[in-house]
Amino acid sequence: MVSSRGAATLIHMQASDPSSGYLSDVTFPDRFHRELSPAWLNYASVVGGARPKVLERPFRYLDLGCGFAHSTVVNAAAFPHAEFHACDFNAAHIGAARRRAGQLGAGNVVFHEASFEALLEQDLPPFDFIVMHGIYSWVDAGVRGTVRKLISRRLADDGLVYLSYNCQPGWSAEAPLRKLMFELAQAADGGIEARIGTAIAGMQTLGNPSFRYFRDHPSVTEALAALAKDPVDYLAHEYLNGTWDIHYSVDVMDQMAEAGLSYVGSATLADNHPMLLMDRPAAEAIAAMPNGRLRHLAEDFAVNRRFRRDVFVRGVRSNPSQADALRHLEAMPIGCISEIERIDTRVTIPRGALSFQPEFIADLRALMAQGAMRIGDIVARLAGDGHNRREILQNLLFLVASGNLMPFAQAGGLVDTGGRGAASPAVVAALASHTGDETPTFVPCGTLGSGIAVSEDEAIRALRWMAGEEIERPARLARLGILRGA
Protein backbone atom coordinates (compact mmCIF):
# COMPACT_ATOMS: atom_id res chain seq x y z
CA MET A 1 0.00 0.00 0.00
CA VAL A 2 2.65 2.52 1.00
CA SER A 3 4.47 3.66 -2.09
CA SER A 4 7.86 5.30 -1.94
CA ARG A 5 6.81 8.51 -3.66
CA GLY A 6 6.84 11.22 -0.97
CA ALA A 7 3.99 13.67 -1.59
CA ALA A 8 1.91 11.33 -3.70
CA THR A 9 1.95 8.71 -0.99
CA LEU A 10 1.00 11.21 1.68
CA ILE A 11 -2.11 12.41 -0.15
CA HIS A 12 -3.13 8.85 -0.98
CA MET A 13 -2.72 7.84 2.67
CA GLN A 14 -4.85 10.75 3.81
CA ALA A 15 -7.58 9.55 1.50
CA SER A 16 -7.58 5.99 2.76
CA ASP A 17 -8.51 3.87 5.72
CA PRO A 18 -5.19 3.43 7.54
CA SER A 19 -5.68 -0.28 8.25
CA SER A 20 -6.74 -1.50 4.83
CA GLY A 21 -5.77 1.24 2.37
CA TYR A 22 -9.36 1.47 1.13
CA LEU A 23 -10.43 4.97 -0.05
CA SER A 24 -12.44 6.63 2.69
CA ASP A 25 -12.73 10.31 1.76
CA VAL A 26 -14.65 9.81 -1.49
CA THR A 27 -18.12 8.34 -1.31
CA PHE A 28 -19.11 5.56 -3.70
CA PRO A 29 -21.97 6.14 -6.19
CA ASP A 30 -25.41 5.64 -4.64
CA ARG A 31 -26.73 2.72 -6.70
CA PHE A 32 -29.49 0.16 -6.38
CA HIS A 33 -28.50 -3.45 -7.21
CA ARG A 34 -31.43 -5.74 -7.95
CA GLU A 35 -29.27 -8.84 -7.42
CA LEU A 36 -29.09 -8.08 -3.68
CA SER A 37 -32.78 -8.83 -3.18
CA PRO A 38 -33.40 -11.90 -0.97
CA ALA A 39 -36.00 -13.04 -3.52
CA TRP A 40 -33.52 -12.78 -6.41
CA LEU A 41 -30.80 -14.63 -4.47
CA ASN A 42 -33.26 -17.29 -3.35
CA TYR A 43 -34.24 -17.86 -6.99
CA ALA A 44 -30.59 -18.00 -8.17
CA SER A 45 -29.78 -20.61 -5.52
CA VAL A 46 -32.85 -22.72 -6.31
CA VAL A 47 -32.00 -22.73 -10.05
CA GLY A 48 -28.62 -24.09 -8.93
CA GLY A 49 -30.28 -26.88 -6.92
CA ALA A 50 -30.49 -25.40 -3.39
CA ARG A 51 -33.53 -25.68 -1.13
CA PRO A 52 -35.69 -22.54 -1.24
CA LYS A 53 -35.85 -20.20 1.74
CA VAL A 54 -39.25 -19.34 3.15
CA LEU A 55 -39.20 -15.58 2.78
CA GLU A 56 -42.61 -15.11 4.42
CA ARG A 57 -40.98 -16.00 7.75
CA PRO A 58 -38.56 -13.71 9.62
CA PHE A 59 -34.97 -13.94 8.38
CA ARG A 60 -31.71 -12.05 8.88
CA TYR A 61 -29.60 -10.40 6.20
CA LEU A 62 -26.14 -8.77 6.44
CA ASP A 63 -24.69 -6.40 3.81
CA LEU A 64 -20.91 -6.10 4.21
CA GLY A 65 -19.41 -2.92 2.72
CA CYS A 66 -22.90 -1.59 2.06
CA GLY A 67 -21.87 1.84 0.73
CA PHE A 68 -25.07 3.90 0.71
CA ALA A 69 -26.98 0.64 1.34
CA HIS A 70 -29.55 1.74 -1.22
CA SER A 71 -30.63 -1.82 -2.09
CA THR A 72 -30.51 -3.03 1.50
CA VAL A 73 -32.68 -0.21 2.86
CA VAL A 74 -35.28 -0.60 0.08
CA ASN A 75 -35.22 -4.39 0.51
CA ALA A 76 -35.73 -3.92 4.26
CA ALA A 77 -38.82 -1.81 3.54
CA ALA A 78 -40.05 -4.58 1.21
CA PHE A 79 -39.55 -7.23 3.94
CA PRO A 80 -40.68 -5.49 7.15
CA HIS A 81 -40.76 -8.82 9.01
CA ALA A 82 -37.03 -9.47 8.39
CA GLU A 83 -33.98 -7.99 10.14
CA PHE A 84 -31.35 -6.32 7.97
CA HIS A 85 -27.82 -5.30 9.02
CA ALA A 86 -25.59 -3.00 6.98
CA CYS A 87 -21.88 -2.46 7.70
CA ASP A 88 -19.42 0.06 6.28
CA PHE A 89 -16.55 1.99 7.85
CA ASN A 90 -17.25 5.11 5.82
CA ALA A 91 -19.23 7.45 8.09
CA ALA A 92 -20.68 9.39 5.13
CA HIS A 93 -22.07 6.16 3.64
CA ILE A 94 -23.68 4.99 6.88
CA GLY A 95 -25.01 8.50 7.60
CA ALA A 96 -26.76 8.66 4.21
CA ALA A 97 -28.05 5.08 4.57
CA ARG A 98 -29.53 5.92 7.99
CA ARG A 99 -31.25 8.97 6.51
CA ARG A 100 -32.77 6.91 3.70
CA ALA A 101 -34.00 4.28 6.20
CA GLY A 102 -35.51 7.09 8.30
CA GLN A 103 -37.20 8.56 5.23
CA LEU A 104 -38.74 5.18 4.30
CA GLY A 105 -39.58 4.38 7.92
CA ALA A 106 -37.53 1.17 7.64
CA GLY A 107 -36.91 0.52 11.33
CA ASN A 108 -35.68 -3.01 10.66
CA VAL A 109 -32.13 -2.09 9.61
CA VAL A 110 -29.27 -2.19 12.11
CA PHE A 111 -26.38 -0.01 10.91
CA HIS A 112 -22.80 -0.76 11.85
CA GLU A 113 -20.40 2.09 11.17
CA ALA A 114 -17.47 -0.25 11.60
CA SER A 115 -14.72 -2.05 9.78
CA PHE A 116 -15.18 -5.74 9.02
CA GLU A 117 -12.38 -6.36 11.52
CA ALA A 118 -14.37 -4.59 14.29
CA LEU A 119 -17.60 -6.32 13.25
CA LEU A 120 -15.89 -9.69 13.63
CA GLU A 121 -15.51 -9.02 17.34
CA GLN A 122 -19.16 -8.09 17.85
CA ASP A 123 -21.76 -10.42 19.22
CA LEU A 124 -24.04 -10.87 16.20
CA PRO A 125 -26.90 -13.28 15.50
CA PRO A 126 -26.69 -15.87 12.69
CA PHE A 127 -27.58 -14.54 9.23
CA ASP A 128 -29.58 -16.29 6.52
CA PHE A 129 -28.04 -14.03 3.87
CA ILE A 130 -24.61 -12.39 3.83
CA VAL A 131 -23.96 -10.22 0.77
CA MET A 132 -20.92 -8.36 -0.51
CA HIS A 133 -21.20 -6.37 -3.70
CA GLY A 134 -18.06 -4.69 -5.02
CA ILE A 135 -15.88 -5.67 -2.08
CA TYR A 136 -13.82 -8.78 -2.69
CA SER A 137 -11.65 -7.42 -5.55
CA TRP A 138 -11.14 -4.05 -3.87
CA VAL A 139 -9.77 -5.05 -0.47
CA ASP A 140 -6.48 -6.72 0.40
CA ALA A 141 -5.89 -10.37 1.26
CA GLY A 142 -6.07 -9.62 5.01
CA VAL A 143 -9.53 -8.03 4.71
CA ARG A 144 -10.69 -10.88 2.46
CA GLY A 145 -9.59 -13.29 5.19
CA THR A 146 -11.59 -11.28 7.76
CA VAL A 147 -14.65 -11.42 5.54
CA ARG A 148 -14.34 -15.21 5.29
CA LYS A 149 -14.02 -15.48 9.08
CA LEU A 150 -17.15 -13.36 9.45
CA ILE A 151 -18.99 -15.67 7.08
CA SER A 152 -17.79 -18.79 8.76
CA ARG A 153 -18.81 -17.45 12.22
CA ARG A 154 -22.02 -15.67 11.38
CA LEU A 155 -23.70 -17.50 8.50
CA ALA A 156 -26.70 -19.59 9.57
CA ASP A 157 -26.56 -23.34 8.95
CA ASP A 158 -28.55 -23.15 5.74
CA GLY A 159 -27.35 -19.61 4.97
CA LEU A 160 -26.55 -18.14 1.58
CA VAL A 161 -23.65 -15.85 0.58
CA TYR A 162 -23.53 -13.50 -2.39
CA LEU A 163 -20.11 -12.35 -3.51
CA SER A 164 -19.29 -10.30 -6.60
CA TYR A 165 -15.78 -9.77 -7.95
CA ASN A 166 -13.69 -9.01 -11.01
CA CYS A 167 -12.48 -12.20 -12.62
CA GLN A 168 -10.16 -13.49 -15.29
CA PRO A 169 -9.77 -14.02 -18.17
CA GLY A 170 -12.04 -11.07 -19.07
CA TRP A 171 -9.66 -8.51 -17.57
CA SER A 172 -6.52 -9.90 -19.23
CA ALA A 173 -6.28 -7.12 -21.83
CA GLU A 174 -7.43 -4.25 -19.65
CA ALA A 175 -5.76 -4.90 -16.30
CA PRO A 176 -2.57 -2.99 -17.22
CA LEU A 177 -4.72 0.07 -17.94
CA ARG A 178 -5.72 0.17 -14.30
CA LYS A 179 -2.06 0.04 -13.22
CA LEU A 180 -1.28 2.88 -15.61
CA MET A 181 -4.17 4.96 -14.26
CA PHE A 182 -3.21 4.25 -10.65
CA GLU A 183 0.41 5.29 -11.24
CA LEU A 184 -0.54 8.41 -13.23
CA ALA A 185 -2.97 9.47 -10.48
CA GLN A 186 -0.37 8.86 -7.78
CA ALA A 187 2.10 11.10 -9.57
CA ALA A 188 -0.45 13.89 -10.20
CA ASP A 189 -1.14 16.92 -8.01
CA GLY A 190 -4.36 18.05 -6.39
CA GLY A 191 -7.42 16.34 -4.97
CA ILE A 192 -8.88 13.09 -6.22
CA GLU A 193 -10.91 14.70 -9.01
CA ALA A 194 -7.90 16.58 -10.36
CA ARG A 195 -5.74 13.46 -10.13
CA ILE A 196 -8.26 11.39 -12.01
CA GLY A 197 -8.52 14.08 -14.71
CA THR A 198 -4.73 14.17 -15.06
CA ALA A 199 -4.55 10.37 -15.15
CA ILE A 200 -7.20 10.09 -17.86
CA ALA A 201 -5.51 12.79 -19.93
CA GLY A 202 -2.20 10.95 -19.50
CA MET A 203 -3.72 7.68 -20.64
CA GLN A 204 -5.32 9.38 -23.63
CA THR A 205 -1.90 10.74 -24.62
CA LEU A 206 -0.48 7.23 -24.56
CA GLY A 207 -3.57 5.56 -25.97
CA ASN A 208 -2.62 5.61 -29.62
CA PRO A 209 -1.25 3.05 -32.08
CA SER A 210 2.35 4.22 -31.52
CA PHE A 211 2.04 2.38 -28.23
CA ARG A 212 1.95 -1.29 -29.08
CA TYR A 213 -0.10 -2.20 -26.04
CA PHE A 214 -2.98 -0.15 -27.43
CA ARG A 215 -2.32 -1.26 -31.00
CA ASP A 216 -2.29 -4.93 -30.00
CA HIS A 217 -5.45 -4.62 -27.86
CA PRO A 218 -8.07 -2.54 -29.74
CA SER A 219 -10.60 -3.33 -26.99
CA VAL A 220 -8.46 -1.35 -24.56
CA THR A 221 -8.84 1.82 -26.64
CA GLU A 222 -12.62 1.37 -26.42
CA ALA A 223 -12.32 0.75 -22.68
CA LEU A 224 -10.32 3.95 -22.29
CA ALA A 225 -12.96 5.97 -24.13
CA ALA A 226 -15.70 4.49 -21.92
CA LEU A 227 -13.70 5.05 -18.76
CA ALA A 228 -13.22 8.73 -19.56
CA LYS A 229 -17.02 9.11 -19.32
CA ASP A 230 -17.39 7.34 -15.94
CA PRO A 231 -18.22 9.47 -12.88
CA VAL A 232 -15.30 10.45 -10.68
CA ASP A 233 -16.61 8.75 -7.52
CA TYR A 234 -16.90 5.44 -9.37
CA LEU A 235 -13.43 5.78 -10.91
CA ALA A 236 -11.90 6.64 -7.56
CA HIS A 237 -13.17 3.43 -5.94
CA GLU A 238 -12.64 1.25 -9.00
CA TYR A 239 -9.14 2.41 -9.92
CA LEU A 240 -7.47 4.30 -7.10
CA ASN A 241 -7.60 1.88 -4.22
CA GLY A 242 -4.26 0.49 -3.18
CA THR A 243 -5.69 -2.98 -3.69
CA TRP A 244 -7.38 -4.21 -6.82
CA ASP A 245 -7.21 -7.91 -7.42
CA ILE A 246 -8.64 -9.93 -10.23
CA HIS A 247 -9.54 -13.46 -9.24
CA TYR A 248 -10.05 -16.77 -10.95
CA SER A 249 -13.44 -18.22 -10.08
CA VAL A 250 -11.94 -21.53 -8.95
CA ASP A 251 -9.63 -19.76 -6.47
CA VAL A 252 -12.60 -17.93 -4.95
CA MET A 253 -14.44 -21.25 -4.82
CA ASP A 254 -11.48 -22.78 -2.91
CA GLN A 255 -11.37 -19.82 -0.49
CA MET A 256 -15.07 -20.11 0.18
CA ALA A 257 -14.72 -23.88 0.67
CA GLU A 258 -12.28 -23.08 3.51
CA ALA A 259 -15.08 -21.04 5.09
CA GLY A 260 -17.38 -24.07 4.72
CA LEU A 261 -19.29 -22.96 1.59
CA SER A 262 -20.08 -24.48 -1.78
CA TYR A 263 -20.84 -22.67 -5.02
CA VAL A 264 -24.47 -23.04 -6.02
CA GLY A 265 -25.12 -20.60 -8.87
CA SER A 266 -24.91 -17.09 -10.20
CA ALA A 267 -26.97 -13.99 -9.45
CA THR A 268 -26.27 -13.00 -13.08
CA LEU A 269 -29.17 -15.24 -13.93
CA ALA A 270 -28.25 -15.99 -17.56
CA ASP A 271 -24.97 -17.46 -16.30
CA ASN A 272 -26.93 -20.38 -14.84
CA HIS A 273 -27.92 -21.55 -18.33
CA PRO A 274 -24.94 -22.52 -20.52
CA MET A 275 -27.28 -22.74 -23.53
CA LEU A 276 -27.74 -18.97 -23.34
CA LEU A 277 -24.00 -18.34 -23.13
CA MET A 278 -22.17 -20.49 -25.64
CA ASP A 279 -22.50 -22.54 -28.79
CA ARG A 280 -22.66 -26.32 -28.89
CA PRO A 281 -18.92 -26.99 -29.62
CA ALA A 282 -17.96 -24.88 -26.57
CA ALA A 283 -20.54 -26.62 -24.39
CA GLU A 284 -19.30 -30.04 -25.55
CA ALA A 285 -15.66 -29.14 -24.92
CA ILE A 286 -16.57 -28.00 -21.39
CA ALA A 287 -18.65 -31.11 -20.73
CA ALA A 288 -15.62 -33.22 -21.67
CA MET A 289 -13.47 -31.63 -18.92
CA PRO A 290 -12.43 -34.19 -16.29
CA ASN A 291 -14.09 -32.52 -13.28
CA GLY A 292 -16.54 -29.84 -12.15
CA ARG A 293 -13.77 -27.48 -11.05
CA LEU A 294 -12.29 -27.41 -14.54
CA ARG A 295 -15.72 -27.04 -16.12
CA HIS A 296 -16.33 -24.02 -13.86
CA LEU A 297 -13.05 -22.41 -14.97
CA ALA A 298 -13.43 -23.34 -18.64
CA GLU A 299 -16.82 -21.61 -18.74
CA ASP A 300 -15.15 -18.31 -17.77
CA PHE A 301 -12.85 -18.80 -20.76
CA ALA A 302 -15.77 -19.70 -23.04
CA VAL A 303 -17.48 -16.37 -22.33
CA ASN A 304 -14.34 -14.35 -21.50
CA ARG A 305 -15.99 -13.45 -18.20
CA ARG A 306 -14.80 -10.38 -16.30
CA PHE A 307 -17.28 -10.03 -13.46
CA ARG A 308 -18.97 -12.69 -11.40
CA ARG A 309 -21.89 -12.60 -9.00
CA ASP A 310 -21.42 -15.91 -7.20
CA VAL A 311 -23.91 -17.44 -4.80
CA PHE A 312 -22.64 -19.91 -2.22
CA VAL A 313 -24.44 -22.00 0.38
CA ARG A 314 -23.23 -23.42 3.65
CA GLY A 315 -21.95 -27.00 3.60
CA VAL A 316 -21.05 -29.40 0.87
CA ARG A 317 -23.76 -29.22 -1.72
CA SER A 318 -25.57 -32.47 -2.24
CA ASN A 319 -27.36 -32.68 -5.54
CA PRO A 320 -31.12 -32.88 -4.93
CA SER A 321 -33.14 -35.58 -6.66
CA GLN A 322 -34.61 -34.45 -9.97
CA ALA A 323 -38.07 -34.53 -8.42
CA ASP A 324 -37.03 -32.30 -5.48
CA ALA A 325 -35.19 -29.85 -7.75
CA LEU A 326 -38.28 -29.56 -9.96
CA ARG A 327 -40.60 -29.15 -6.96
CA HIS A 328 -38.40 -26.35 -5.57
CA LEU A 329 -38.24 -24.58 -8.93
CA GLU A 330 -41.99 -24.86 -9.45
CA ALA A 331 -42.54 -23.17 -6.08
CA MET A 332 -40.66 -20.03 -7.19
CA PRO A 333 -42.89 -17.01 -7.87
CA ILE A 334 -42.03 -15.02 -10.99
CA GLY A 335 -43.69 -12.03 -12.62
CA CYS A 336 -43.32 -9.04 -14.88
CA ILE A 337 -42.25 -5.65 -13.54
CA SER A 338 -42.49 -3.78 -16.83
CA GLU A 339 -45.52 -3.13 -19.02
CA ILE A 340 -46.95 -6.54 -19.96
CA GLU A 341 -46.54 -5.81 -23.71
CA ARG A 342 -42.81 -5.71 -23.15
CA ILE A 343 -42.72 -9.49 -22.66
CA ASP A 344 -41.47 -10.08 -26.15
CA THR A 345 -41.33 -12.97 -28.59
CA ARG A 346 -37.67 -12.16 -29.20
CA VAL A 347 -35.32 -11.60 -26.28
CA THR A 348 -31.65 -10.74 -26.02
CA ILE A 349 -29.36 -13.31 -24.44
CA PRO A 350 -25.57 -13.24 -24.04
CA ARG A 351 -25.17 -15.43 -27.15
CA GLY A 352 -27.46 -13.33 -29.32
CA ALA A 353 -31.24 -13.58 -29.43
CA LEU A 354 -33.89 -16.16 -28.64
CA SER A 355 -37.39 -16.40 -30.16
CA PHE A 356 -40.58 -17.73 -28.59
CA GLN A 357 -43.82 -18.68 -30.31
CA PRO A 358 -46.24 -15.73 -30.45
CA GLU A 359 -49.13 -17.84 -29.03
CA PHE A 360 -47.01 -18.80 -26.02
CA ILE A 361 -46.11 -15.16 -25.35
CA ALA A 362 -49.74 -14.04 -25.83
CA ASP A 363 -50.96 -16.60 -23.25
CA LEU A 364 -48.14 -15.71 -20.88
CA ARG A 365 -48.93 -11.99 -21.12
CA ALA A 366 -52.56 -12.70 -20.22
CA LEU A 367 -51.45 -14.61 -17.11
CA MET A 368 -48.80 -12.11 -16.04
CA ALA A 369 -51.34 -9.27 -16.31
CA GLN A 370 -52.94 -10.75 -13.19
CA GLY A 371 -49.75 -10.52 -11.15
CA ALA A 372 -46.87 -12.79 -10.13
CA MET A 373 -47.44 -16.55 -10.12
CA ARG A 374 -45.54 -19.64 -9.05
CA ILE A 375 -43.65 -21.26 -11.91
CA GLY A 376 -45.55 -24.53 -11.36
CA ASP A 377 -48.90 -22.74 -11.67
CA ILE A 378 -47.88 -20.98 -14.88
CA VAL A 379 -46.70 -24.28 -16.38
CA ALA A 380 -49.97 -25.96 -15.37
CA ARG A 381 -52.05 -23.16 -16.92
CA LEU A 382 -50.07 -22.98 -20.17
CA ALA A 383 -49.64 -26.72 -20.64
CA GLY A 384 -53.41 -27.20 -20.84
CA ASP A 385 -53.57 -28.36 -24.47
CA GLY A 386 -50.93 -31.02 -24.18
CA HIS A 387 -48.00 -28.63 -24.66
CA ASN A 388 -44.70 -29.89 -23.40
CA ARG A 389 -44.35 -28.98 -19.69
CA ARG A 390 -40.59 -29.28 -19.74
CA GLU A 391 -40.32 -26.87 -22.69
CA ILE A 392 -42.64 -24.36 -21.01
CA LEU A 393 -40.58 -24.53 -17.82
CA GLN A 394 -37.40 -23.94 -19.80
CA ASN A 395 -38.96 -21.00 -21.65
CA LEU A 396 -39.95 -19.42 -18.33
CA LEU A 397 -36.46 -19.84 -16.90
CA PHE A 398 -34.99 -18.30 -20.06
CA LEU A 399 -37.42 -15.37 -19.89
CA VAL A 400 -36.31 -14.72 -16.31
CA ALA A 401 -32.64 -15.12 -17.28
CA SER A 402 -33.07 -12.58 -20.09
CA GLY A 403 -34.77 -10.08 -17.77
CA ASN A 404 -38.22 -10.20 -19.40
CA LEU A 405 -39.64 -11.78 -16.25
CA MET A 406 -38.27 -11.49 -12.74
CA PRO A 407 -38.03 -13.56 -9.55
CA PHE A 408 -40.67 -12.40 -7.05
CA ALA A 409 -40.96 -12.94 -3.30
CA GLN A 410 -44.63 -13.99 -3.48
CA ALA A 411 -47.37 -14.73 -5.93
CA GLY A 412 -50.13 -12.12 -6.26
CA GLY A 413 -50.53 -8.52 -7.26
CA LEU A 414 -53.48 -6.24 -7.62
CA VAL A 415 -55.42 -5.59 -4.42
CA ASP A 416 -58.77 -3.89 -5.07
CA THR A 417 -59.87 -2.58 -1.71
CA GLY A 418 -62.15 0.20 -2.79
CA GLY A 419 -60.24 3.18 -1.37
CA ARG A 420 -57.18 4.74 -2.95
CA GLY A 421 -53.80 4.31 -1.35
CA ALA A 422 -50.32 2.87 -1.26
CA ALA A 423 -49.37 -0.56 0.03
CA SER A 424 -47.33 1.01 2.84
CA PRO A 425 -46.09 4.36 4.16
CA ALA A 426 -42.65 3.41 2.77
CA VAL A 427 -44.17 3.41 -0.73
CA VAL A 428 -45.58 6.92 -0.28
CA ALA A 429 -42.25 8.16 1.10
CA ALA A 430 -40.32 6.58 -1.78
CA LEU A 431 -42.71 7.96 -4.43
CA ALA A 432 -42.45 11.41 -2.89
CA SER A 433 -38.66 11.26 -2.82
CA HIS A 434 -38.20 11.40 -6.59
CA THR A 435 -35.40 13.78 -7.30
CA GLY A 436 -36.78 15.62 -10.29
CA ASP A 437 -34.04 14.39 -12.60
CA GLU A 438 -33.74 11.36 -14.88
CA THR A 439 -32.79 9.04 -12.00
CA PRO A 440 -35.58 6.58 -11.18
CA THR A 441 -36.72 6.16 -7.59
CA PHE A 442 -36.64 2.63 -6.21
CA VAL A 443 -39.95 1.96 -4.51
CA PRO A 444 -40.16 -0.97 -2.06
CA CYS A 445 -42.45 -3.72 -3.30
CA GLY A 446 -43.36 -6.55 -0.92
CA THR A 447 -44.62 -8.84 -3.70
CA LEU A 448 -41.38 -8.45 -5.64
CA GLY A 449 -39.22 -8.48 -2.50
CA SER A 450 -37.12 -5.66 -3.92
CA GLY A 451 -37.38 -2.13 -5.26
CA ILE A 452 -39.16 -1.15 -8.47
CA ALA A 453 -37.61 1.60 -10.57
CA VAL A 454 -40.25 4.33 -10.90
CA SER A 455 -39.76 7.34 -13.17
CA GLU A 456 -40.56 10.83 -11.96
CA ASP A 457 -43.63 10.97 -14.21
CA GLU A 458 -45.03 7.66 -12.91
CA ALA A 459 -44.34 8.66 -9.28
CA ILE A 460 -46.18 11.95 -9.73
CA ARG A 461 -49.15 10.22 -11.38
CA ALA A 462 -49.31 7.71 -8.51
CA LEU A 463 -49.23 10.50 -5.90
CA ARG A 464 -51.95 12.44 -7.73
CA TRP A 465 -54.11 9.31 -8.06
CA MET A 466 -53.70 8.60 -4.34
CA ALA A 467 -54.68 12.19 -3.57
CA GLY A 468 -58.04 11.48 -5.26
CA GLU A 469 -57.51 13.26 -8.61
CA GLU A 470 -59.63 12.01 -11.49
CA ILE A 471 -56.81 10.38 -13.40
CA GLU A 472 -56.24 6.81 -14.47
CA ARG A 473 -54.66 4.58 -11.84
CA PRO A 474 -51.02 3.81 -12.82
CA ALA A 475 -51.65 0.26 -14.03
CA ARG A 476 -48.17 -1.16 -13.58
CA LEU A 477 -47.88 -0.05 -9.95
CA ALA A 478 -51.36 -1.38 -9.21
CA ARG A 479 -50.54 -4.78 -10.75
CA LEU A 480 -47.40 -4.97 -8.60
CA GLY A 481 -49.45 -4.39 -5.44
CA ILE A 482 -47.69 -1.06 -4.79
CA LEU A 483 -51.01 0.79 -5.07
CA ARG A 484 -54.17 -0.52 -3.49
CA GLY A 485 -57.73 0.35 -4.31
CA ALA A 486 -59.90 0.55 -7.40
For ligand SAM, the binding residues (CB under 6 A) are 20, 22, 28, 31, 33, 65-67, 87-90, 93, 115-116, 133-135, 138-139, 143, 237
Instruction: Name the residue nearer to ligand SAM (CB basis): 245 or 377.
Output: 245
Shortest distance, position 32 Cβ to ligand SAM, whole Å: 9
CA atoms within 13 A on the CB side of 188: 21
Number of H helices, E strands in the chain: 22, 16
Q: What single-letter DSSP state applies at residue 163?
A: E
Shortest distance, position 147 Cβ to ligand SAM, whole Å: 8
Instruction: Name the residue nearer to ligand SAM (CB basis): 402 or 441.
Output: 441
List the alpha helices (DSSP H) in 53-211.
Answer: 70-78, 91-104, 116-120, 141-154, 175-187, 192-206
Shortest distance, position 30 Cβ to ligand SAM, whole Å: 8
Shortest distance, position 389 Cβ to ligand SAM, whole Å: 39
Shortest distance, position 109 Cβ to ligand SAM, whole Å: 14
Instruction: Name the residue nearer to ligand SAM (CB basis): 140 or 330.
Output: 140
Please give the Cα distance from 266 to 380 (Å, whole number): 27
Instruction: Name the residue nearer to ligand SAM (CB basis): 127 or 465.
Output: 127
Strand, helix or coil for residue 275: helix
Shortest distance, position 324 Cβ to ligand SAM, whole Å: 33
Which of 78, 107, 55, 81 shows the shortest CA–CA distance to 481? 78
Instruction: Name the residue nearer to ligand SAM (CB basis): 23 or 155.
Output: 23
Identity of the amino acid at 187: A
Please give the Cα distance from 408 to 333 (Å, whole number): 5
Instruction: Name the residue nearer to ligand SAM (CB basis): 131 or 200.
Output: 131
Please give the Cα distance from 323 to 207 (Å, whole number): 56
Shortest distance, position 104 Cβ to ligand SAM, whole Å: 17
Please give the Cα distance from 420 to 67 (Å, whole number): 36
Instruction: Name the residue nearer to ligand SAM (CB basis): 65 or 371.
Output: 65
Please give the Cα distance from 126 to 61 (Å, whole number): 9
